[in-house]
Chains A and B, each alone.
Chain A
């Protein structure tokens, strides 16, 4: 593991423990998740107890302790999307990807997550693939989206 890379990120924030979340999200952008030995290194460098670091990592939903897929699909279950049938969309994703919410497919291609609001309720029901929004979802769109993602590697 390239621990120097981690050290560099930490030094960028001048080893300040108050920038912990920024450091962690930068590391996660590098690895797509937070591996155990990396976290141990962070705790060592910032001189904070491992229990506290683990608490922070578990507190925020964006931090992941297990590898996530290439495409992270976030299905919005906020009030507006819920009314427009977001649960059906989520179930359709679950059926097609053969995984449950919060899980990752075996080939590390897709991770399925639920979120509470994406802030674009007029587009509901909304799903997000990595950083892009897909509005007004329905079962047909779910199928074509997944087909596109898995065949071309692009979307």
Chain B
């Protein structure tokens, strides 16, 4: 096992050569958002959120860090304008597709996305492939798979019938970042929530700490509305 040296955001670091760039960056404590990555599954590189910028002699390029193996002497920048702009666009697109995903809503608030420029839809899949990989690799079942291409791509069982090999374990739903309880923000469902950004809760330090899944007292939401009124 060799050790390679790379430069992350201007700081030199030494990591194991068998790692991917994402593993190295997480090990070094750099926060990289991901949706299609799971530690127990093979990297897939489809959500593109883990993009980082790599400097080469010929210029810089964006690579998906979850698939990129670390190499001796590479220069990595994780939060350049280009990277952040790309990531924000991706989250915006995915959120417009699946506005009821709390994972995506939280990610949008974290990135400071305040409006969505695309027409909101109400799909229930971002095609991250976590369920397909989990079913195949961890559950040793392979009951679901991708079919079609382009906009017609979807996850189904063979012949769209009840699968003979599915054990109803529910792992696909457990791992899914979209099929979950929707955000309990103060915007109606199907829109950008942004509560974590705008609302100042009274009972906790930040909005994320409120037990959003339960019926909350709503005082912070009312306060948020008051703030809006004061602004206008």
Instruction: Give A residues with C-beta under 8 Å from B.
Output: 36, 49-55, 58-59, 65
Q: Give chain B residues whose Cβ lies under 8 Å from the Cβ of A54.
A: 145, 147, 156, 158-159
A17 to B149, CA, bound (A): 21
Residue pair B148, A58 in contact (C-beta under 8 Å) = yes
For residue B132, give the distance in angstroms from its CB to the closest CB of chain A: 8
A55 to B142, CA, bound (A): 12
Q: Is the interface of A mostly helix, strand, loop or mixed?
A: helix
Cβ < 8 Å to A, chain B residues 153-201: 156-159, 165
A61 to B203, CA, bound (A): 57
Q: What's the interface size class on B, roughly?
A: 10 to 19
For residue A134, give the distance in angstroms from its CB to the closest CB of chain B: 29
Residue pair A52, B148 in contact (C-beta under 8 Å) = no
Looking at the complex, which one of A36, A49, A53, A55 makes contact with B146 (CB distance below 8 Å)? A55
- Enumerate the 10 nearest inter-chain pairs by beta-carbon distance, A residue then B residue, closest first: A51-B145, A58-B147, A54-B158, A49-B142, A50-B158, A55-B145, A55-B147, A51-B142, A58-B148, A55-B146
**Closest A residue by C-beta to B157:** A51
Q: Give chain A residues whose Cβ lies under 8 Å from the Cβ of B158.
A: 50-51, 53-54
Q: Give chain B residues whose Cβ lies under 8 Å from the Cβ of A52.
A: 142, 145
**Closest A residue by C-beta to B160:** A54
For residue B189, give the distance in angstroms from its CB to the closest CB of chain A: 32
A49-B142, A50-B142, A51-B158 given; 7 more Cβ-contact pairs under 8 Å: A49-B145, A51-B145, A52-B145, A53-B158, A55-B145, A58-B147, A59-B147
A7 to B223, CA, bound (A): 71
Instruction: Give B residues with C-beta under 8 Å from A.
Output: 132, 136, 142-149, 156-159, 165
Residue pair A36, B159 in contact (C-beta under 8 Å) = yes
Looking at the complex, which one of A53, A59, A65 makes contact with B149 (CB distance below 8 Å)? A59
Q: Can you offer 16 A-B residue contacts whose CB atoms are under 8 A?
A: A36-B159, A49-B136, A49-B142, A50-B142, A50-B158, A50-B165, A51-B132, A51-B144, A51-B145, A51-B158, A54-B156, A54-B159, A55-B145, A55-B147, A59-B147, A59-B148
**Closest A residue by C-beta to B154:** A58
For residue B155, give the distance in angstroms from its CB to the closest CB of chain A: 10
For residue A78, give the distance in angstroms from its CB to the closest CB of chain B: 17
A44 to B134, CA, bound (A): 22
A65 to B156, CA, bound (A): 15
Q: Give chain A residues whose Cβ lies under 8 Å from the Cβ of B145.
A: 49, 51-52, 54-55
**Closest B residue by C-beta to A65:** B159
Q: Give chain B residues whose Cβ lies under 8 Å from the Cβ of A65.
A: 159
A49 to B147, CA, bound (A): 13
For residue A116, give the distance in angstroms from its CB to the closest CB of chain B: 13
A30 to B48, CA, bound (A): 43
A58 to B154, CA, bound (A): 11
A58 to B160, CA, bound (A): 12
A33 to B155, CA, bound (A): 23
A51 to B144, CA, bound (A): 6
For residue A85, give the distance in angstroms from its CB to the closest CB of chain B: 26
**Closest A residue by C-beta to B147:** A58
Q: Give chain A residues whose Cβ lies under 8 Å from the Cβ of B159.
A: 36, 54, 65
Q: Give chain B residues whose Cβ lies under 8 Å from the Cβ of A51.
A: 132, 136, 142-145, 157-158
For residue A55, give the distance in angstroms from its CB to the closest CB of chain B: 5
A53 to B147, CA, bound (A): 10
For residue B179, give the distance in angstroms from its CB to the closest CB of chain A: 19
A70 to B112, CA, bound (A): 58
Q: Give chain A residues whose Cβ lies under 8 Å from the Cβ of B157.
A: 51
For residue A142, give the distance in angstroms from its CB to the closest CB of chain B: 28
